[in-house]
Amino acid sequence: MDPQATARSVPDEGARRAVDAVWRIESAKIVATLTRMVGDFGLAEDLAQDALIDALRQWPVDGVPRNGAAWLTAVAKRKAIDVWRRQERLDDRIAVLAHDLEREQAEGTDAVPWDPDAVDDDVLRLIFIACHPVLSREAQVALTLRVVAGLSSEEIARAFLVPTATVQQRIVRAKKTLAAAHVEFEMPSKNEHAARLGAILGVVYLVFNEGHAASSGSDWMRPELGAEAIRLARVLAALMPRERDVHSLLALMELTAARFPARVDAKGDPVLLGDQDRTRWDRGSIARGRAALATADALGGGRSAYGLQAAIAECHALAASVEETDWERIVILYEALGRIAPSPIVELNRAAAVAMATGPASALRIIDALGESGALPGYHLLPATRGEMLLRLGREEEARSEFAAAAALAGNDRERALLEAKAAVR
């Protein structure tokens, strides 16, 4: 059967949903397959996008193909041949692509040119390209979400609250940069592997953090963005089963995302840890996170920064209440994290754990030292955490002042409203 064979026509909205579903699930494999075939990442992504536009136009009229991924890939191949013909590049690649298309049609198959039950190494190459060190972090994020996660420019723009044109410019610039640097569709050498993987995990972690706590806007969380980051980490774990940090990051995100259902109320307002209904926590996500952490530990080498953060998240996940949480262990884990990945934010989080383990007075000393060092200028959680300590010490007027300062610095509307409410309590 020709990949374009269909059963029936569908309304525009139904066709759009079908296109979106196929693209979200299969876009990475489609672009990766095309990149391997045409030898040019930028061209491959353009061809895939053009095929997507054709699908949006044709599927409402002609019907949804039985195998949408095969349809998109075949259309993109034909477009590649057209591009090369217009450029008078009549080389072997046209013959190879044309032969593939003729064979697929002759065999009457609508199968895609990859094993649907396997995670292809081409996808891993694609991820390494999207996070290539010649690109800025903003470009890496945009390109990863576009070509690996399958998000549209509009979706990426909404997720990070930037204009769609900005996202499109970043993607175009990124493709031009990769072309200028002659980045090939291949795995990096062994000596580059660790550094490149670190950049990839950093991008995935950044995407997840924005989903966990939106830096600005009217929603406190963006769970769909967190879900995309977890999906990317699962792909990486399947592709790189011997990489400890991949499993550690997946564990951290699964264990943290388990609390998502309880972190907002029916109106979308924040629900802090102590007030959350723990029966709403996702036990399946907790089980997956603990399994991923066990896998990372079994690979040896000790726990990385991601692994230590996952262990902290596991402590929360296993506790029946805030009071029953093993805060002393969490303090120890933060101390270990501070030694291998020192940062003022880690120190601030350690102070919050110290407050629960030994009381707010000792935590306040840590927070005041951070403030005096000037390490977190403009970071709203520093005065917010200081306000909590002062409140617990009975210094209510000072606490209200700190909450007001934190509210003025907060970029997220929901969080700002929460802090303003605390500042107004008499």
Q: Are residues 87 and 143 in the same domain?
A: no
Instruction: Report the 10 Å Cβ neighbour count for 133.
Output: 13
| Residue the block writes with tokens 């909404």 | 158
Residue 117: the pLDDT is 43
Q: Are residues 63 and 23 in the same domain?
A: yes
The domain boundary, picked from 64, 82, 106, lies at 106
Q: Are residues 65 and 141 in the same domain?
A: no
Rounded Cα–Cα distance for residues 114 and 279 (Å)? 41
Instruction: Report the 10 Å Cβ neighbour count for 421.
Output: 12
Into how many domains does the chain fold?
A: 2
Indicate the residue type of 269. D
In a domain, 321, yes or no: no
Residue 26: the pLDDT is 84
Q: What is the pTM of this model?
A: 0.77
Q: Are residues 123 and 209 in the same domain?
A: yes
Q: Are residues 68 and 129 in the same domain?
A: no
Structure tokens at 396: 């209510």
The domain boundary, picked from 106, 140, 165, lies at 106
The three-state (H, E, C) secondary structure of the chain, written as one string: CCCCCECCCCCHHHHHHHHHHHHHHHHHHHHHHHHHHHCCHHHHHHHHHHHHHHHHHHHHHHCCECCHHHHHHHHHHHHHHHHHHHCCCCCHHHHHHHHHHHHHHHCCCCCCCCCCCCCCHHHHHHHHHHCCCCCCHHHHHHHHHHHHCCCCHHHHHHHHCCCHHHHHHHHHHHHHHHHHCCCCCCCCCHHHHHHHHHHHHHHHHHHHHHHHCCCCECCCCCHHHHHHHHHHHHHHHHHCCCCHHHHHHHHHHHHHHCCHHHCECCCCCECCHHHCCHHHCCHHHHHHHHHHHHHHHHCCCCCCHHHHHHHHHHHHHHCCCCCCCCHHHHHHHHHHHHHHCCCHHHHHHHHHHHHHHHCHHHHHHHHHHHHHHCCCCCCCHHHHHHHHHHHHCCCHHHHHHHHHHHHHHCCEHHHHHHHHHHHHCC
Residue 308: the pLDDT is 98
Q: Are residues 23 and 92 in the same domain?
A: yes
In a domain, 274, yes or no: no
Residue 50 to residues 5, 31, 164, 325, Cα–Cα distance (Å): 19, 12, 18, 53
In a domain, 416, yes or no: no
DSSP assignment of 52-113 equals HHHHHHHHHHH--BSSHHHHHHHHHHHHHHHHHHHTT--SHHHHHHHHHHHHHHHTT----S
- Distance between alpha carbon 63 and the CA centroid of its chain, in Å? 33
pLDDT tens-digit readout, 299-322 = 999 999 999 999 999 999 999 999
Q: Are residues 69 and 126 in the same domain?
A: no
In a domain, 50, yes or no: yes
| Residue the block writes with tokens 């979308």 | 268
Structure tokens at 83: 């591009």
- Domain with 62, as residue range(s), is 12-106
The domain boundary, picked from 79, 106, 133, lies at 106
CB 312 within 8 A of CB 334: yes
Q: Are residues 205 and 128 in the same domain?
A: yes
Q: Are residues 123 and 99 in the same domain?
A: no
Q: Are residues 128 and 206 in the same domain?
A: yes
pLDDT tens-digit readout, 76-131 = 888 888 877 766 555 555 555 555 655 655 555 555 554 544 445 788 888 889 99
Low-confidence ranges of the chain (pLDDT < 70): 1-11, 86-120, 161
Residue 11: the pLDDT is 60
In a domain, 135, yes or no: yes
In a domain, 7, yes or no: no
Q: Are residues 38 and 73 in the same domain?
A: yes
In a domain, 113, yes or no: no
Closest by CA position to 40, among listed 93, 118, 119 = 93
Residue 330: the pLDDT is 98
Reduce the DSSP state of residue 270 to 3 states and report it.
strand
Residue 314: the pLDDT is 98
In a domain, 42, yes or no: yes
Q: Are residues 21 and 85 in the same domain?
A: yes
